[in-house]
Homo-oligomer: A and B are copies of this chain.
Amino acid sequence: MILATPGPVEIPYFVRETYLRDTIHHRTPEFKEILLDTLNRFKNITKLPYNVFLSSSGTGAMEAAVINTVKNKALTVNAGKFGERWGKICKAHGIEFSEIKYDWDTPALVDDVIAAIKEDDSIDTFFIQISESAGGLRHPVEEIAAEIKLINPDIIVVADGITALGVEDLDTSNIDIVVGGSQKAFMLPPGLSMLGLSDAAVERIGSGRGFYFNLANEIKKQSEGTTAFTPATGLIIALNEVLKKLEDIGLERHYENTAKRHNAMLAAIEAIGLSIFPQNPARSMAAVYSEKAEEIRKILKNKYEINVAGGQDHMKGKLFRINNMGIIEDNKMAYILNSLELALEELGIRKYDATAVKIYSKEK
């Protein structure tokens, strides 16, 4: 079975085999060296001065960002299940928040965010996804962040980069916190989340809040090469190998490969008559709108052994989503797109003539 869901993504063999190594205790010079080296390499991904790992899924890191940074009121963008989550986290902790809501295919508008901030000067923290995976949508986070900082540099900008870190060469110069997750572009098993933080974010956090998710404790400990609690050593060791591999390829080249593959994949999908769902697609995936989404997914799974994701909530049965995160061989992507075209023929939607694979190969 090819796992072609936009997270968890397939774990390459060089990652899996790190688990065959001897077990290392986390309070040893050996692990300290690996942790510091991994944090240091991760700095090239976030381009932010402070980096910490949490032993949790990405949601844990989102919660850590919320509870540690909001002092008065949060402003959140909700254009999907993950944008909605910011508000749910605020609610769970009795944190006041305003939400700007969009359809799942619609990127946030800079003007809407600026208007909300100008209207309510109690807002001190802003939360958004870089890539909102519910609809495969890319928000113009860099522009929004820059405008926010022009108006009020004290507003802390938090960006969920769970399906953006390791996918794109991000400009985080106006972003204070960026959140990542192990099972996305880092091609690891789930269970590790990462945060990159600016000086302003660390200042805002002060002595931190919460216990397991107290970021002040973790930043202090991890800067010394240790962790507040037992870390997910297996995942950190494997992340170290992934970061080395991405550096071997060259980060710039890896980002370019991902972008080129994305463009070629979208072109192939549109060439066989399917529509890309979001107005501004994120590079992490192809989110395809189709009333036959479930039939297509079934054929892909049962006949071609390819697992692609469906839609969630009100988009259930109307979307399918193909992963574009991590290292994906061209032959694998070509096989996925060719199988998709064959599925369309089986459903009587379009006669198969190998257009998808032709376009993909030409554009890639």
Contacts and interface: CB of A to CB of B under 8 A. Distances in A.
Contact of A211 (B17, B24, B88): B88
Interface string A174-206: 000000010100000111100000000000000
Contact of A57 (B8, B55, B181): B55
A357 to B, nearest CB: 24
A334 interface: no
A3 interface: yes
A306 to B, nearest CB: 12
Interface in A217-235: 229-235
Residues of A contacting B: mostly: loop
B307 A233 contact: no
Interface in A21-36: 22-26, 28
B25 A3 contact: yes
Contacts of A231: 57, 190-191
Contacts of A63: 211-212
Contacts of A57: 55, 212, 229-232
Interface in A231-289: 231-235
B189 A8 contact: no
Contacts of A92: 209-211, 214
A92 to B, nearest CB: 4
Contacts of A20: 13, 16-17, 19-20
Residue of A10, A89, A229, A234 ringed by the most chain B CB atoms within 10 A: A234
Interface in A299-354: 307, 309
Contacts of A10: 22-23
Interface in A78-96: 88-89, 92-93
Given A9-B23, A22-B1, A232 B59 contact: no
A307 B25 CA distance: 9
A56 B7 CA distance: 19
A184 to B, nearest CB: 10
Nearest to A28: B307
Nearest to A31: B8
B58 A230 contact: yes
B59 A211 contact: yes
A60 interface: yes
A59 B8 contact: no
A125 interface: no
A104 interface: no
Contacts of A190: 26, 55, 230-234
Contact of A189 (B13, B19, B229): B19
A16 B63 CA distance: 31
Contact of A23 (B11, B212, B230): B11
Contacts of A192: 191
A5 interface: yes
A213 interface: yes
10 contacts: A8-B24, A8-B25, A10-B22, A19-B19, A19-B234, A60-B212, A189-B234, A189-B235, A191-B232, A234-B234
Given A16-B19, A92-B211, 13 more contacts: A8-B23, A8-B25, A8-B233, A10-B23, A11-B23, A19-B19, A19-B20, A57-B229, A58-B229, A59-B230, A183-B230, A190-B232, A191-B192
